[in-house]
Amino acid sequence: MTKGALYRHYKSKRDIFDCIVGRMEQQDGEQATEYDMPQVFPL
């Protein structure tokens, strides 16, 4: 993937980072629900 293609979808490196972190949080929440674990929310 080229930089140009990447930045067509994201405005900045921070935007890419935020998207990755958001996806990880979503997956963690789904797994916590699947295994009946309590979800911990950031302060």
* Residues 1-43: tens digit of each pLDDT: 888 888 899 999 999 999 999 999 999 888 888 888 766 666 5
| Cα distance between residue 15 and residue 13, in whole Å | 5
Collapsing DSSP to helix, strand or coil, 14 comes out as helix
Maximum distance among all alpha carbons in the chain? Answer: 42
pLDDT, position 42: 64
| Cα distance between residue 41 and residue 29, in whole Å | 10
